[in-house]
Amino acid sequence: MMRVSTNTLFDQGTKSMLQQQNSLFKLQQQISTGKRIVTPSDDPIGAARAHELTQAASLNAQYMENRQRAGDSLKLVDSTLGSVTNLIQNVQSLTVAVGNPTLSDSDRSNMAIELRGRFEELLGLANTTDDEGNYLFSGFQGKTQPFVQVAGGVQYAGDQGQRLAQVSASRQLSVSETGLAIFEQIKNGNGTFVTAATNTNNGSGVIGSGSVTDAASLTGDDYKISFSVTGGVTTFEVTNATPGTVLSGPYTSGEAISFDGLQFAIKGAPADGDTFTVQPSRHESLFTTIGNFIAALETPASGAAGNARLTNSMNSTLQNLDHALTNVLGTRAAAGARLQEVDALQQAGEDTAVQYQQSLSRLQDLDFAQAISDLTRQQALLEAAQQSFIRISGLSLFNKI
């Protein structure tokens, strides 16, 4: 027969109550936090999975923040380029208006003042900053003002880099554009070659922009077209800067002049000694295009020669502005495409965040109805254990004597 000592009774009773209290405390913690897993020991596998999901959700949240910032930058780029587009179109309209033959030198000077205002506006747009003070179009050098006015015009002080944002685990997107590509690297002329009249011409000859007739025959050389007037007969001679004479013959206004895979026409009456040039297209800054036209408007244009100089300048300006507009629209379209991608990724990120939250909820969230039922049951068990301990601890032979 086994004898149960008083110490054993007290130890077992105390142990039972502590176990019941521990279970009750655990349930109270779960209810107060609303979580099924309060400590990893509650469910080691579930806790590990919840940790993985929490890390993934945190990383997804960081990518969402990156995309938000990238979207804000791209929206600002798009808005600014939209303003640049409107400005170029306004300058085009103003340039066309200069062709009105009733305008006087004074009228054109007033238009030059208006155009200079557009020039300053363009400079301000090219130096746009974001909410953190970083210049949009300075490349990697966000704190460096990209365009600075100097004695010879406007100089680019940025670089050719594009700032990138990590918008997903496997995708980086450019959130900026370089001012060099937008405002500086614009092909002049027709994109292949550029025709121009010498400023010292005294005749009324106006040269067209020309076109390519045979790309394989293009030399990329510089040409000069010289005119001679003898006995009322006008002739021209085309010379190449390297080989020498290329073509010569009588001049007829508006008749195409063709050589080495290109052609153009000159209209009007060139004077003796007038010259025109044909050179390969080069990059010309939008600021240079507008600045040159301002200078042309500020120069008196009286007489046939003056009108011809103004017309040649106007035609050249319109052509270069057209290239600049195409360049800006292309850049804006590229920025818009990236903005659409950011929006799509952001929507996918929001959907992923919901999925992570649902998975975490299934792993961690407490079933309150079940927990409250268990709490009530556990309280009853603890009370029963306490009453039982009181009854047992009160047993003694002395009570029977």
Task: Return the HEC string of 96-147.
Answer: HHCCCCCCCHHHHHHHHHHHHHHHHHHHHHHCCECCCCCECCECCCCCCCCE
6-33 and 368-393 are packed helices; what angle lies between their axes, rounded to 10 degrees? Answer: 160
**pLDDT tens digits, 344-376:** 999 998 888 888 877 766 666 565 566 566 656
Cα–Cα distance measured from residue 159 to residue 127, given in angstroms and rounded to the nearest whole number? 14
Hey, what amino acid is at 273?
A: G
Q: State how far the Cα of 53 lies from the Cα of 57, in Å rounded to an integer.
A: 6
Mean pLDDT, range 77-91, rounded to an integer: 96
Per-residue pLDDT tens digits for 158-168: 999 888 899 98
| pLDDT digits 0-9 by tens, 136-152 | 999 998 899 999 999 88
Name residues whose C-beta falls within 8 Å of residue 339's C-beta, 6 or more positions apart in sequence: 71, 74, 75, 78
Report yes or no on whether pTM surpasses 0.85. Answer: no
What pLDDT, in 10s, does the model give residues 292-331? 999 999 999 888 899 999 999 999 999 999 999 999 999 9
Give the mean pLDDT of the chain. Answer: 85
How far apart (Å, rounded) are the C-alpha atoms in residues 150 and 11?
Answer: 94
Identity (one letter) of the amino acid at 280?
A: P
What confidence category does residue 333 fall into, taking pLDDT thresholds of 50, 70 and 90? very high
- Tens-digit pLDDT profile for residues 9-62: 566 656 666 665 665 566 566 665 656 665 665 667 766 776 787 788 889 899
Name the fold adopted by 56-188+320-352.
f41 fragment of flagellin, N-terminal domain (1.20.1330)
For 337, the enclosing helix (H) or strand (E) is: helix 303-364
User: Residue 184 has what pLDDT?
Assistant: 94
Distance CA 126, CA 105 (A): 31
Phi, psi of 91 (to 5 degrees): -65, -35
pLDDT for 372: 65
Domain boundaries, the chain: 56-188+320-352, 193-281
The predicted pLDDT at position 1 comes to: 47
Question: pLDDT for 92-108, tens place per residue?
Answer: 999 999 989 889 999 99
